[in-house]
A and B are shown apart, each in its own frame.
Chain A
Amino acid sequence: MLGYILKRLLLTLPTLLLVSVGVFLFIRLIPGDPALVLLGEGADAASLAGVRADLGLDRPLPVQFLTWLGHAVRGDLGRSIFSGEPVSTLILQHFGLTALVVLTAVTLATLIAITAGLVAAWRQDSAIDLAVVGAATVVLAVPSFWLGLVLLLLFGVKLGWLPFVGYVPFSESAVQAALFLVMPIVTLTITESGVLTRMMRASSIDVLQLDYVTHARAKGLPESTVLIRHVFPNAFAPTLTLVGLTLGHLLGGVAVIETVFTLPGLGRLMVDAVLARDYPVVQGCLLFTAVVYVVVNLLVDLCYPIFDPRVTAR
């Protein structure tokens, strides 16, 4: 197992190198000059040249890249062009909140998907199935910002039950932080539960038609035992893959949710950095996201044997 993990981690190195090259080049291909954004519309040529020199943007691209990569492998992702803060500090400050929201929401969405998908598959073509499929389709079609704004207007403004601006971290007030996170988490849970439910239902239908399930029923096992012990572990593997992918891309930031609910998360940090052409922050965030993506998917792969013993780590 340890060898497998090490092998997988080693395989990620070329991926991360490619990501770093891509990120470095693509952000520079987008028109726009960080020095110009920094100095504003009236900047004169001498000041612009000075800032570019200060930022190292006047050097050849390969030199810039190798310098950045050399620092990055030592854990130094540089400093924000605008705030001057270390990028790694900014990422860690913002990632904690994003991770909390995403992990909670995806966990809840997965639980909803498992239950709803299994039941819908078990009662295929019934009213329950129709309701689950219908609800999942609606949820898939609803944009997260719209859902977030509706919840905000209902529970934040109309009923006044939940706060939605002025996030307070857990370290200051656990209760207020928890109340603040209710709406973002609910929004994300609902949004993500649609596709997971569809996947769980589809794979459960496939498994329910297999011979061993018929055999289990023929043995006289209760339906709940058949579903939980025999159908769920086998049907869950494809959904688990999707959970991994979902977690990976959401942990890179949920910019829309973070903007609607004014959460200082990684998504907003990254969007702001792209709009300001803050190269070090964009590069750092995307590299970090790639690492998270790889690690999450490795963890998901390692979880497969738990649900399906036929899969072994080799």
Chain B
Amino acid sequence: MRVLSLLVALGALWIAFPARAGSILRARLNSDIVSTDPGTRRDENTDGVLLHLVEGLVGSREDGSVAPMLASRWSISADGRVYTFTLRPNVVFHNGAPLTSAEVVWSLQRYLKPGTRWRCLEVLGANGIAPVTSVTAPDLHTVEVTLARPAPIFLTTLARADCGATGIMHPDSVQADGSWNAPIGTGPFQLGEWRHNQFVQLERFARYAALPGPRDGNVGGKHALVDELRFMIIPDSSAARAALIRGSLDVIDNLYPADLMGIRGREDLQFQSVPVLDCYSLLIQTQDPVLRDVRVRTAIALTIDAKALTKAITRDTGSPNNSPIPVASPFHGPAEARMRPVDIPRARQLLKASGYDGSVIRLITSRRDPQMFDTAVIIQAMAAQAGLNVQIELLDWPAHLARYTTGNYQLMVESFSPRLDPTLSFGLFIGDKRQEPRKVWDSPRARALLDEATQAADPAVRQSLMDQLTLDFLAEAPAVVLFNSSRLSVVRAAVTGHQNWPSAQPRLWGVGLH
């Protein structure tokens, strides 16, 4: 027995203190990444990992505004169509090659090829709202991008995380036949090993040239403070929490509020909560025979106590909000801060006036994240107070997504990932249903206001347009925005410098270990 105990103890010591060549920071991913090709075959986890490897000409500051990254500066022609970027000197790729305009032109042209399936092609492609007509290199350190028409959204689009931040890569990232190989970027980490369903290992890039200043969004102060960054794929949140307590994991990012149970208050862990620019909403199909009546939609909206719902769903970590502009956005002003009051008697009156006969209204949700299903349950209960007969239909995520995209629903609980620009936030809802059935707000006036906001560069003008859109949105109730969540993280006490930001991506540069 003693021998057995000794063996077990030695085994435990050996596991607890394995030989390490350098410092390793271990962070959890709840599912494997999809690919290593930025902005193409992707999901949020993929974006988060790859943004440690690649960088674009521009990036996002902490407040969501656009800032220089690989470009040291840019200028815009008088007609608003030509963007001239000057590249930062002394930037090198992970393979040691210097960054020149040739790699930028190659990268942008590759993204713009339909075969690349770049996420932002829908904006910058021929049919987009900011079509790029040419990308040229006047000299080694200058790149000119010409648009078919002026579009202030161009720079914001380049910085979008879901488009891989339009990461500039070396042409050796693809094989001779044009197929994808591996990202050779300019980020503070380079790709080490990707072992499917186990981990993605990134190594510190010793020759990385960080922008000066403190950490800011995904642009400033990007210093790799550990030798290795290991994203470990741990689907089960209980196992992830156990691993954190045990010390087999250093960072759990993007926790759901329910996951805080059992670990909140532990002294060996640090907790962080940062409001993000996402959006949880109840979408309403305005072409449905019952819901096309604005009185029914308004009645539904009047039954929902967004404050109470937010408190219950997010364990008091989210922000109730009825505007598509998130609370953390600089465009969330007094007009956007208005909350629709709960008014059950008024809701009953509206339903009676509309002739609603108590017929079943189906509410689609899924367990893509636990908050979506819980939200549906609470909405069902709240709506019942006014006599609305809401029945929940639970689908898995791909089926939910298919119904969303085709507009095949009456009510749907949907969560949208963070959008850094306010026009993108409204763009989630506004559109022509004939071309984009997923859009809930098919109003000519709203479309015109959104187009105007997309073209406007002056922040004051944009704010005014956002205010008008918000008021119209509340009046027409094509959807009910419910809340913006917070990005919850928990890290071990030995981890230093970890700080989330309002985007949806983990940020593990500037993070070290005692």
Contacts and interface: CB of A to CB of B under 8 A. Distances in A.
B404 A179 contact: no
Interface in B158-186: 162, 180
Given A41-B416, A262-B236, A31 B398 contact: yes
A51 B116 CA distance: 11
Contact of B235 (A40, A43, A159, A259): A259
B44 to A, nearest CB: 9
B38 to A, nearest CB: 14
A164 B114 contact: no
Interface in B207-235: 232-235
Contacts of A51: 117
Contacts of A166: 26, 198-199, 232, 248
A37 B398 contact: yes
Interface centre among B117, B127, B401, B403 (most CB of A within 10 A): B401
A93 B196 contact: yes
Interface string A13-48: 000000000000000001111101111111111110
A29 B12 CA distance: 49
Interface in A188-241: none
Interface string B20-38: 0000001000011011000
B249 A163 contact: no
A53 to B, nearest CB: 11
A47 B435 CA distance: 13
Given A83-B34, A268-B197, A149 B238 contact: yes
Interface string B397-409: 1110111110000
Given A161-B12, A166-B232, A33 B398 contact: yes
Interface string B116-134: 0101011000010000000
Nearest to B114: A50
B196 A31 contact: no
A81 to B, nearest CB: 9
B20 to A, nearest CB: 13
B3 to A, nearest CB: 15
Contacts of B239: 149, 152, 164-165, 259-262
Given A50-B117, A163-B248, A42 B395 contact: no
Given A44-B436, A160-B16, A165-B249, A275 B401 contact: no
Contacts of A275: 396-398
B504 to A, nearest CB: 13
Interface residues of A, number: 54
A235 B71 CA distance: 78
A179 to B, nearest CB: 6
B34 A262 contact: no
A46 B127 contact: yes
A164 B34 contact: no
A313 interface: no
A293 to B, nearest CB: 23
Nearest to B234: A262
Given A84-B35, A262-B235, A41 B41 contact: no
Given A160-B246, A166-B232, A166-B248, A264 B401 contact: no
Contact of B402 (A33, A39, A149, A159): A33
A197 B377 CA distance: 43
Given A268-B197, A272-B31, A31 B162 contact: no
A50 B118 CA distance: 12
Given A262-B233, A262-B236, 6 more contacts: A36-B401, A83-B35, A163-B248, A165-B232, A166-B232, A179-B15
Interface of A: 30-34, 36-47, 50-51, 82-85, 90, 93-94, 149, 152-153, 156-157, 159-167, 175-176, 179, 259-262, 264, 268-269, 272, 275-277
